Every structure is written in structure tokens, then in C-alpha cells.
Structure 1
Amino acid sequence: MKTIEDAFDKSRALVFGVGGCGDIVSTVPTAQFLEAHGVDVILGGVAWERVVVDPQPGPRHFDDIENIDRLNDSVALATDETRTHDGIEFAETNVARHYDEDVILIDIGGGARGVAAGLNDACDQLDVDLVVGTDAGGDVLAAGNEPGIKSPLTDAVMLSVLTHLEVDACLGMYGYGSDGELTLDEVKDGISRAAKRDGLLGAWGLTPKIVGELEDLLDVVTTEASRLPVDVARGKLGDATIRDGARSVELTPASTVTFYLDPEAIAATSDLDEHVAHTESFEAAHEALSSAGYDTELDLERSLVTDDQT
């Protein structure tokens, strides 16, 4: 894609949250944007909830999940009945219930290569000719040297996936620092690196109609990073905290904008992508980042569970 307007010529788009853990909420503005231009949209997300929702650290795999229609080893259709065998519902479950329609659930177990193959197959089965991965907060833009990175694993894998799809793909960055990982300057630098490679495809902001829809959805889906842009749209600006006060966030009007970027332009300056791009399992992706010196969200979740047990 050369510009976001190219998306308006597509027939059906998959718009999915790249980070799991409620990122599916960040798909809604993009879905509405595309639907307003006549594009049919199916929503989706990664099967990984934070430990406050799912006490088992790490992503869930399809063998752990019931009431899904598997399209392949990496992609399934989820409904309002989808849950783990031990009763944990995903954000995607609640979104399917809220909209009364199936959503896509992605099993990240195949690593970058496996998930890309699965999504390519799913796009063929579902007649999808555009994939947009959205991220709440902007940590997916990380080059790798930012000290505040807390969750590089899923974002890096799914960014790499977007660069290996056979249909057109782009990355939507929503929330502008609302996850408290990258500073506003670091988010700006990420966008700048993409723009220097002709990778800034466009932008679109929240409207009162979309804010109202998001507020309804946020009543049933737990997420902080995707909620803060709605707060900004209602007039809240300045400093805020998330994660029980563990992270600070600066809210600006830019929080209400989704920036559309060429994933290849982001990956080209990402050390994280370099480490995970050729992985064929989730474990290999985690080991690659760990060996490179990165702490991941899996490490964080394991430590939190260990602390709770001691």
C-alpha cells in the first residue's frame, strides 16, 4: 500500500489487535473508517490475556480453547461461547457477544512464520484482501533501545507477520503512548522513521459516533490503553497512571488519532523484528528476544505469578 486510500478499493478487511490483552478494542475506529468507505470488516485479536484476567502466564493455544471453528493451526473463528477449558473468556469473546458476530482469534504458537502462513490461508478462506493490525499505545513502533519496553514479544511477532502476508497489509497505531511503554518522543521517533521510508500512509481520528461505540464496548472489555483515548475525546488531558499506578501516561489530543503505517517501514528499523522474523514457534521467538537481552511480557507474567505464590 502506498496510501491509506488504497484500502477503500478492497472488498473485505481483517482488522485485528496485534498485542492481545484487549487490543481488539483498538480495531473499532479503523473498522468504522473502512466500513464508511464500503469495505466489509471482520475483527480479531491474539489469544493472550493479562494475568489479571487469565492467571496462567503466556498466550493460550487452540488445544486449550473450546467453542472455536479452527481454520488452521493459527487462526480460528471465535464466538460469544469461546473460552479456555478452565473457563477464561477472551476479550474477543466479549467483542463477539457485543456485536453478535464471529471474530478472528489468533494462536501465536507458530511464531512469525507459522502465524503468517496461517493468516495467509485464512485470508484465502475468508476472501480477505486487506489486513490491518492495530496497536494500542504505540509500543509496536519500538526500535529496541527504548528503556520502557515491557511487552515486546507479541508486538514483534505480529509486526513481522504483517510484513509476510500475501495480501496488502498495514499497521494502525492508536492511542499515542497510552500504554505507558514508549514516551511521546519515542512514539514520534517511530512514526518519523516510517515516514522517512514513505511509510506514513495516513491518519484518522475519533469522532463522537465512534467514541459512543467505544464507550459501549468498554463496558464489557477490560483495557486501559484503549480506554484512555476515549477519555481524551471527552476532555481529559495531561498526566494519568495505569497498571495500578505502575506506569505514567501523558494524554494529548494525538491520543485520539490512529496513524496508519507501512509495517515493512517499521520492521526495517526494529531490532526486535530482526530477532523474531524467522521463528517458527512462540518459544523460539521468546528465546530469541531473551538471548538478545530483552525482558518480555511472558517474563513479567511469570514473575507476577511467582510473587503471588510466595
Structure 2
Amino acid sequence: MKRLLIAAGGGGDAIATAMVHAALHGPDEPALVLTYAWERLVVDPVPGPRRPSDFTGTVTAGPTLRLVTPRSAPRPPAGSLLPRLSAGLRPALGLLDPYAGASGLARQIEEAAAYCEAGHVDVVDVGGDILADGTEPTLRSPLGDALVLAACARTGIPTSVHVAGPGLDSEVPEAALLPLLGDPLHTLTHADTLSVQAVFDWHPSEAGALLVAAARGIRGVCGTRDAPHPVTLGDASPHVYRLTLARALEINPLARALAESASLADAERASERVCGFSEIARERARAAQLAQEAGESPGGGTAPSEPRPLPRPLPRPLPERFAEWERRTADSGIAYVTTRRIAEELALSPAQLTALRRHLSTATPARHTPPLWRLAAVEA
């Protein structure tokens, strides 16, 4: 027998789900975590979520359910960190395929419950966009969470919904969430992070990193990439809250609208009606923009040759570039940053990021407060 959990948002939520499971039930309790392979363009250049046919080496656990293992691999051009993540987490990972809408997800959850011999489902979301009402101006990715709620309701299996780190995903503000959550079920501690700490050496999840940092006692203003406002780690940040499925459905109108969805296209249309946008359409537009910037033509070839650019000055040493960026970022009131923000804002290659991490880890004072980086105080 295994406990059955669902990482509602995919991507880094699987890490947080493993951590919450270890905190509530012990790290050695057997478990299966169902998660989307929907890891956004920073990992996967193909817009939208991946399905089982996008992987090799998965393990069949039911007619429509597949497990991702360290021997699995995404089929190019798709990308995914789930195979590597399956090697770094203790729970097994199962793949959620949303292409048949809530009805298809419900079948997969039922198959997973039979595989685990589980009579209960624990849904885990970092940040709290699983409780979005669709009107939040900062809402970016509500669809996966809402589909999970709708699918769990279709199964009829008793389900609990857990929100960890309210507001840490920069989608629904903490102040809007706390009145909905009641008293915390658990407060994560440093000990609760030990089972997942190593994955943040390479995984780009920011909400998960902030949750781990909060559990380790870090407090202050944290800068993430591509978020409208910094996140402040405070007293509520390491808390885990539990709601009933009925209460989550009451709060989330998109989940209710997805109840009868039978395809991902159905789900997109529901999101457009309720929230005013489709995050998959946004990903398609962004992927097309990135392809254009890379010089690819719409047909997949390269764009016509451009005039030869003028020679550029030699790049400055990386520590010097970081010091200037650090000063500018700290002046905006930010005390901590994620690895992903550093890498993206400085446009670092993997090798450059490794070199910078080594430099910052040995600097005086050392900047690394795993899994975040502390900015040095800037003198007036």
C-alpha cells in the first residue's frame, strides 16, 4: 500500500508535495505523487504539458497511468526534469495527462488509487493559486490546479487539499488567501526539508525554493524572476493548511467550470471564459517569440541573414557583472534571490552559473543560504 498524493501545479510542486508528505507522514512512508510534466519554457521548449507518448522508458501502472523513473527520458524536442527528479525524491512519480480533460484525469487518479490501494487522495499546491477566483491580476497558471480539483471531484474518492506557503508563487497574494485557510495544519521546519534539499542544486523551481527557505527560518524580501512584485517570507510562509475538496471547489470557479471537460481544448476555453486567458496560448506566443529571436523562420529554418554586427567589447569578468547587478537589485529592497533569477537576469550559461555559484559560495561573506542567495548589504 502507498499513500496517493497529487502535485496540483506540476513542475516544482512535486518537490513540495514530497516534502509535505515527509513532514506529515514520515520520509519512509511509501507514496506515489502524481504530477504534470508541465515545466514551462525554461525547461521544455514545447508549449503546454507533455503526455506519456512524449517519454520513453515509462512504466505502465494502469490502462492510462504511467510512472516516470530515472530511466525515462523526454522525446526531443520536448524537455522534462521529471526523470531526474524521480531519482532525487523518495516517492514514486506518476504522470498526469490532461489531454482528455477532467474526465481523463479522473480515470488516471482512479487507476492510481487502485495501484496504491489508497482510499484517500492528498492534493498539494505551493502558493495557493488552487484557490484562485480567476480575477487576480497576478494570476498566471490556474489551469493545472483547477483540472486536478475537477478530476478529484469526478472520482468520488475522499480528497483533502493542502496549501503550502501561501502567496509564495506570486499568483494570489498571501493577504487574500489567509482568510480562506483557517488555522495551519503544520509548520514546516528545517528537518522537514532534508529529504528534498539536494534537488535545488539543479532544479529551477522558485516557489519550492522559497518554501524550503521559509522552513529553514529565512525571513525577508525575496526576488524571483518574471514576477510583478517580490515575495516577503514571513511567519505564515512555512505553514501548511488543509481544506476539504468541497471548500476548494466552492472557492475556485474555474474548477467548477471544468467538471465536464473531455479535452485540453475544452479546458482552455473554460479558462478563457472564467479567467480571461489561456496560459497555454500565452506559452505558444512566447515560444514563437523566442524562436523568432533565435533566428528561426516560421517554417523551421533560419531567418534571412542579417548585416554583420559591429564587434562587441570584450565581456567584463563575471564577478564584476554580478556585483553591479547585486548592487542594483539590493537597492530595490530585495534581500534574497533565487538561482533562477540570477541565471536569467544575467543570461548565464550552465557553465557560467556553476562558476558564479562557486565564487559566491566562497565569497566573504558567503552569499549562499540554501536554496537562496543573500545579497550583500550595499553601503551608502
With normalisation by structure 1, the TM-score equals 0.85
The alignment partner of 1:178 has SS state of coil
1:104-163 Cα deviation digits (max 9, x unpaired):
111111211210122112211331222111111111111222221111111110121222
Deviates more, 1:114-123 or 1:86-95: 86-95
Instruction: Please tell me whether residue 173 in structure 1 is matched to residue 175 in structure 2.
Output: no
What residue in structure 2 maps to residue 68 of structure 1? 58
CA distance in 1, matches of 2:194, 2:291: 41
Opposite residue 264 of structure 1, the aligned amino acid is A
| Structure 1 position 291 matched with structure 2 position 273 | yes
Secondary structure of 2:236's counterpart equals helix
Residues 1:80 and 2:57 are matched in the alignment:
no
RMSD: 2.3
1:282 aligns with 2:264: yes
Q: CA deviation at 1:73?
A: 5.8
What are the superposed Cα offsets for residues 1-38 of structure 1, whole Å, 9 maximum, x if unpaired?
xxxxxxxxxx5311221111211011123211343398
Q: Distance in 1 between matches of 2:211 and 2:282?
A: 25
Q: Secondary structure at the match of 2:207?
A: coil
Could you say if the C-alpha distance between residues 190 and 307 of structure 1 is closer, same or farther in structure 2, counting changes exceeding 3 Å? farther
Residue 223 of structure 2 aligns with an amino acid whose one-letter code is T
| Contact in 1 for aligned 2:102/2:261 (Cα 8 Å) | yes
The CA distance in 2 between the partners of 1:280 and 1:13, in whole Å, is: 27
- Counterpart of 2:95 (choices 105, 108, 111) is 105
Distance 1:143 1:307, change over 3 A: same
Contact persistence 1:139–1:187 (CA under 8 A)? no
Q: In structure 1, what is the Cα distance between the partners aligned to 2:156 and 2:62?
A: 17
Alignment of 1:28-107 (within 5 A): 28-36=18-26, 40-72=30-62, 74-86=64-76, 88=78, 90-99=80-89, 102-107=92-97
User: Which residue does 1:3 correspond to in 2?
Assistant: none
Report how far residue 174 of structure 1 moved.
Answer: 1.0
Distance 1:130 1:37 in 2: 19
Write the distance in 1 (CA, Å) between the matches of 2:88 and 2:256. 38
- What stretches of structure 1 move > 6 A for 4+ residues in a row? none
Q: Of 230, 235, 241, which aligns to 1:253?
A: 235
Greater relative contact order (CA < 8 Å, ≥ 6 in sequence): 1
Shift of the 301–46 alpha-carbon distance from structure 1 to 2, 3 Å rule, reads same
The CA deviation string for residues 228-271 of structure 1, in whole angstroms up to 9 with x for no partner, is 02222334323222124554222212111111111211111322
The structure whose residues are more often strand, as a share, is 1
Question: 2:134 is aligned with what amino acid?
Answer: G
Please give the secondary structure, in 2, of the residue aligned with 1:280.
coil
The one-letter code of the counterpart of 2:186 is W
Give the stretch that moved more between structures: 76-85 or 163-172. Answer: 163-172
Q: Superposition pairs for residues 1-310 of structure 1, below 5 Å?
A: 12-36=2-26, 40-72=30-62, 74-86=64-76, 88=78, 90-99=80-89, 102-191=92-181, 203-244=185-226, 246-310=228-292
Q: TM-score, normalised by structure 2?
A: 0.71
Q: Percent identity?
A: 26
Secondary structure of the structure 2 residue equivalent to 1:104: strand
Q: How many residues align?
A: 292
Do the aligned partners of residues 164 and 39 (structure 1) sit closer, same or farther apart at CA in structure 2, a change above 3 Å counting?
Answer: farther
Unmatched tracts of structure 1, length 5 or more? 1-10
Q: Distance in 1 between matches of 2:178 and 2:166?
A: 9
CA distance in 2, matches of 1:69, 1:175: 32
Letter in 2 for 1:21: G
Q: 38-47 or 270-279, which moves further after superposition?
A: 38-47
Moved more, 74-83 or 173-182: 74-83
Distance 2:176 2:198 in 1: 31
User: Cα–Cα, structure 1 residues 81 and 225, in superposed 2: closer, same or farther, change >3 Å?
Assistant: same
